[in-house]
Structure formats: C-alpha cells, structure tokens
Amino acid sequence: MADTRIPDIIYTKVDEAPELASASLLPIIRRFAAEAGVSVGTMDISLAGRILAAFPDHLTPDRRIPDDLALLGDIVKTPEANVIKLPNISASVPQLVAAVKELQAQGYAVPDYPEAPATDAEKAVRAKYDALKGSAVNPVLREGNSDRRAAKAVKAYAQANSHRMGDWSADSKTRVAAMSGGDFFSNEVSATLPGAATAKIILTTADGTEHVLKDGLSYPAGTVVDATYMSAVALDAFLADEIAKTKDEGVLFSLHMKATMMKVSDPIIFGHAVRAFLAPVFDAFGDDMAALGVNPNQGLGDLLVRVKGRADIMAAIDACMADRPPMYMVDSDRGITNLHVPSDVIIDASMPALIRAGGKGWGPDNKEHDAVCVIPDNSYAPVYDETIRFFKEHGKLNPATAGTVQNIGLMAQKAEEYGSHPTTFEIPADGVVRMLLGDGTVLHEHKVAQGDIWRSASARKAPIEDWVNLAIDRQRAEGCRAIFWLNADRAHDAELIAYVKPILEAKGVADRFEIMAPREATRASLDTITKGGNCIAITGNVLRDYLTDLFPILELATSAKMLSIVKLMQGGGLFETGAGGSAPKHVQQLQAENHLRWDSLGEFCALGESLKFLADAKGNDKARVLGDAVDAATQGVLDHDRSPGRKAGEPDNRDSHYWFARYWAEALAAQTEDAALAAAFAPVAKALAGGEAVIVAELAAARGKPVDTGGYYHPEPAKLAEVMRPSATLNAIIG
C-alpha cells in the first residue's frame, strides 16, 4: 500500500475464483464505502504474491512487492484490525511449481522450485518455498476463534428453495475405511504444561546417535502439547487391504485427505496411497522411476508425465490399473483420478459432496457408483462414518425442514494440528523420538521406525479459554443445544475437557452444554437438525474446518454462503467469506466460456458484518447505515434469485454484483437514518434501475467465448478488469 496508515477495512487479494470476483465487486464496495468516509485497502496474500514477496533479491526494484502476509499478521494483533479474508490457495507442490512457472513466463525472475536441493543455496530456496505450502496463511491471520454459521436470510432461502439431494438406501455399499491401529489417534499423548517451557525434539537412532529434529520451541504456561505418529508399516498394510477389499466389493476406491492444509503429513500419506495402488509397478521399476524423478507424493499425474517415455513402465501401469478397483474420479471427462494431484484431495469438500449425492461418486465410466472412502486416521474418520450410517438408516436430509448446525471453532494462535507443520517429520531411521523440555524432562516419547510420520501440536491456554467463553456467549444468544465435540478417550481432548468443565461450572452454565466424542456428537447433531432443531458444534481446529463444510453443504448446498466471524483476541475483527474448494473449476469455466459461477454471497455477508464492526469500533454511524443496507441488499439478491447460474448463458457472478449494487443503493436511498447518504445514493439507485436493460445486455454480450485474464495464479490487472467489468454503463455509474 502506498499509504502507511491502516485502512478502515482491509480486503484481501487472493487467488482463483474469489479473486476474479473481486475485480468486479471491489470497485462497487469502494465507491459505496467512500460516501461514508470508509477507506478500503487491499493486501496481497495470494500464492503468487507470497512467492514474489519471498524473493525480492531475484527481482528488479520495480517488480518487488512487500510481504503483505507478514504485515497483515502484525495488523490482526491490533485492536484496529478489520479484515475481510477471502479463500486463498493452500498450495500443494504441483500448484506451487505451476505458479512459479507462470510468474517466470511473465518475466519475474523467481528461482525454480528445487525438487532435490543439493547445494546450500538450493536448500535455502527450498526452505522459502516450503514455507509457502499448505496452510501458510490461515495460522498467521487467525488470531481469534471462529464463530461460523448460516446467516438467517441464507438459511431461510435454502429452506424455501431446497437443493437436490441424492437418495440414500439402507443397502448402499458406501462406507468409510480407517486404520485399526498405528494411526495418529491411537498413538497420541498429551500434557498441559504447568509453567512456561522451552523444548526440543530429538531422534535417537539405534546406534545411539542423537539427531535434533527441532530446537528452540517455547510454550507459555497452560499450553496443551501433543505428540503422536502414524506407522508407515501399518498404513501400507491398511491401504493394501482396503484396495483388495474394494475390488471384491465392486465399488470405487477413494482417498480423502487434506493434502493442502496439512502440508507435511497428508502429502506423505497421499504418496503412500499412490505407491500402494501401483505397488506391482513400484516393485518392478522403483529404481528406474526414482531415477526419472518420480515422487509418489506429487501424485499419479506427475508420475505419468515423468515415465511417459518408458513403454515398459507405461504397460505395467496399464496392467496394474486394469487389475485394481475402479477409482473415484475428480474429473472423469479428462481422466483425472482421485490420486492424480494431491491438491485435488480435499476431504472437507469431497466427503460432503459424496454424502450429499447419496453416497455416490463419479467413476471412470462417467457414472455414479458407491465408494469406499479411505480416511486413514481415526481422529476424524468417525464423523464421516457416522454420517453415512445415519443416512443409511434414516434416508437423505430434507433441506426444506432441516435445522442448522453452527460452529464455534478453536483455531487461534495456530491451535492443534494446523500449527504442527514445523514439528512434523518423516522419520529417517528406526529409533526413539523424545520431546525434551528445557530442564531435561522428557515430555513425550515414541519408539518409531523409518518412514513413520511423527508430529507434535499445541494449543495455548488463552485461545482455549477464549473458545469456551465464545461458546458460552453463542449458546446464550441462540438458546439451543450446544455440544463440545471432545473424546475423553483421546489424549488431546482429555486435556481440553480439563479446561472446559471448570469454566462452565464457574460460569454456572454446565447444564446448558453436553460433551460428546465426535461420533456420538455427529449422530446427536444430525438427529437434532433432522427434527428441525438447531445446535452448536463446539470443536477443535480440524473438526471446525470439516464441519463448516459438511453441514452447510447438506443444509445450503454450499459452504461458500456461510457467515464466518473471527473475534480477534486483541479486539479486532476478521471476517471470512466461505470455502474456495471448487474455485479451480470456476476459473476453468470462465476461461473456456466467460461464465463465472462463483457466488459472492459470502463476501456480501462478511462486508455487512465488517461495516457494522467498524461502526462500533470507530463510532462511524454512516458505516452502520451502510452495513444495514448491505443486509437489505443481500436479502434482495436472495429474494429475487439473483445468485449466479451454473451454466454459460445464465446470469453469472457479474450480474449478481450489479443486482447487489442496485439493491444496496436503493436501500441507502430509502433509509431515513442519514439524510446525506440517502441523497448521495438516490441518483445512483435511479441510474442503476434505469440502466438495467443496457447493463444486463452489456454483461451478457461476450458470454460463451474463451477469455484471457493474463494468468491463472497471477492475472494481469488490465485484462482481468476487461473481463470482469464488461459493462461500460455500470462502470460509468460506479466510477
């Protein structure tokens, strides 16, 4: 930003479909906000932006950009923070490499991603790139816990306009498969530190050699510190067994992980699945494929590119695939399997979609089939297993009558597994991993084998207490059933329960809350909403992520329309706008057909809350009027069915922004709280209404044809504006 002052509202620059939509929506927001004296700035947390910020020494001065993520990380720790955070890419290695190549093609001299760094310089470059992978953004910005729910208008619209749900039958063969032991769940140990402590993680190998895996860790008093590992041997045996079972059952094989967000552990597990599925090929040609640069963690797609010149290996792959069960397809038209690209395997998007479809997934024959859903770790697999069992027993959910599940999520200050990336390791040799405190105390210890995945995670006292108090406030406001999703038989959860119960008792509200293991909580919540009731799921970080997709997709058809408020612990506000899991497909459709079906309803909801928060924080009554009018405009978009259609030729994201602007202007012109705002927006409302026919025609004129935005990860601003703001009439009104 040219100005060093913090804008009243910071609107994040991100990636893919949300960023395309911003090119159309943000000029509208800035035009309206300016009338209330509200400044709206942007900060770049996109993958491309983070890459450029990481390598200033490789760029000419005119191409360098500031590290906006680091700056924003400081801002969210201040009371002045007011951030609208759109979904950003949590990059897998293939996405990172693709973004680097695109930037290089645009003339940015960023270095190649070193797949096998040998020199110190290459290792330094690799370390910078590795810091950009996976959940690099959210842990930095989430300095508060999550209050996530469907806005009342959105929920009412979903009930009145029910989306299609696939039918469930009691004899469905779809099931969840999880490990019977040797997983993160079964090996977890946890402890709450009585005082502040430093720590290091050491691997002692069989010959007595000590290898320091991580040093310099520090934790404040009251931190819950976990450690666990997944056995590579147990994982491989489990995968081989499930592949064989799936073939016998005659259904699709599917893997459901979070290989983007869990950027160290889950890509390794994904690689084990690729290797297991092609086990005969790796047995016969493993050395040859390694020499060709094959890394199963990068997926089947990358593997096929690297071996395409070896007819013998390709023949072995074809023979192996013919002998395996059919695979769940990400894109059956293009032959993209569930194991092609790790970033395509996003459990919180893939599992709800399969469940909503009646337990069906797309097979290579472009038809729907039952599927085995492989979720190796038992920490969260029971949630999906119980959901599937429930619908087999009771049939599909009826969105017209279903209640809603809200969520209060523990996520502040890198809570739980999402903060484990710097302390996750693929073990290089048999031995013992110990977590040693500064005074020499062994906090945690595991006997491990080569290839095991060991990790430690933590959750601090202040975020835990804030989470419980946020749940108390939310339950008081809603008056509905409230459940802490905590398993007393899981080591980490037992430590959290030791925090939760005393706080509830001290506040005199213990009788308003239940504590259940995730499996039991899943059934209780489904039973409640099936009967039309509402409930609040109070969960840890990963479960928050999973449930705030699962229930919204069942209730609303999408999680992109959720209201997500993060009350930052230093007094600021972070307003998140929903999920971005389907964003790549939206971009592809825009490029091919000039149709963007991304729904900005989440942005509308976040904007209204941000403006009202600003009004309270800075005493800006005009901002409150703007925020209330945003709510009216959002209601108008819903009431008049102005959301984007899915197919080219239907109104799309740009049309919805026109209608949002029009309803917003009309609400401002009609309100009586601020005469100056009413007078300012009366001519805007008149012009938008009077120009309807011309504007709609201009928006539709170029539809159905391929368009060029100048880049996928790093669009060219002028080209993007030309594509996303095609109505000269609307642009003239907005300015």
Q: Is the model more confident about 259 or about 81?
A: 81
Q: Which residues lie across from 191 on neighbouring strands?
A: 225
- At a CB cut-off of 8 Å and minimum separation 6, what does 633 contact? 604, 660, 661, 663, 664, 667
Q: Is 647 exposed, middle or buried (0-12, 13-18, 19+ CB in 10 A)?
A: exposed
Domains contained in the chain, number? 2
In a domain, 116, yes or no: no
What mean pLDDT comes out for the span 394-421? 95
Distances (CA, A) of 486 to 309, 491, 493, 615: 51, 10, 5, 37
pLDDT tens for 509-520 read 999 999 999 999
6 in a structural domain: yes
Answer with the one of 367, 382, 397 that is the final residue of a domain: 382
Neighbours of 703 (CB within 10 A): 17
Are the C-beta atoms of 54 and 70 separated by less than 8 Å?
Answer: no
What is the chain's mean pLDDT, rounded?
95
According to DSSP, residue 441 is labeled -
| Averaged pLDDT for residues 383-408 | 97
pLDDT for residue 4:
54
* Interatomic CA distance for residues 148 and 493, integer angstroms: 21
Whether 603 maps to a domain, the answer reads: yes
Read off the pLDDT band of 559 (50, 70, 90): confident
In a domain, residue 126? The reply is no
Domain ranges, residue 583: 1-88+136-143+570-735
DSSP state of 298: G
Q: What is the DSSP string of 330-398?
A: EETTTTEETTS-GGG-BHHHHHHHHHHTTSEEE-TTSSEEEEEEE---TTTHHHHHHHHHHHHHH----
- The model's pTM is 0.86
Q: Which residues contact 137 (CB under 8 A, 6 or more apart)?
A: 45, 50, 69, 88, 90
Last residue of a domain, one of 352, 382, 412: 382
Q: Indicate whether 221 belongs to any domain.
A: no
Q: Contact 431/444 with Cβ under 8 angstroms?
A: no
CA gap 399, 389 in Å, rounded: 19
Length of the chain: 735
Write the DSSP assignment of 514-540 as a string of letters. EEE-HHHHHHHHHHHHHTT--EEEEE-
The model's pLDDT over 23-33, given as tens digits with 9 standing for 90+, comes to: 999 999 999 99
pLDDT digits over 348-381, tens only? 989 999 999 999 999 999 999 999 999 999 999 9
d(CA 730, CA 735): 8
Provide the pLDDT for residue 3.
41
DSSP-derived pairing of the beta strands 360-362 and 252-255: unpaired
The last residue of one of the domains, among 361, 382, 403, is 382
**Residue 105 falls within a domain, yes or no?**
no
Euclidean distance between CA atoms 75 and 43, whole angstroms: 11
Q: Is residue 106 part of a domain?
A: no
Largest Cα span, the chain: 82
Kindly state whether residue 97 falls inside one of the protein's structural domains.
no
| Spacing of C-alpha 281 from chain mean position | 34
- Summarised one tens digit per residue, pLDDT across range 490-531 is 999 999 999 999 999 999 999 999 999 999 999 999 999 999
* 294-352 per-position pLDDT tens digit: 999 999 999 999 999 999 999 999 999 999 999 999 988 889 999 999 988 889 989 99
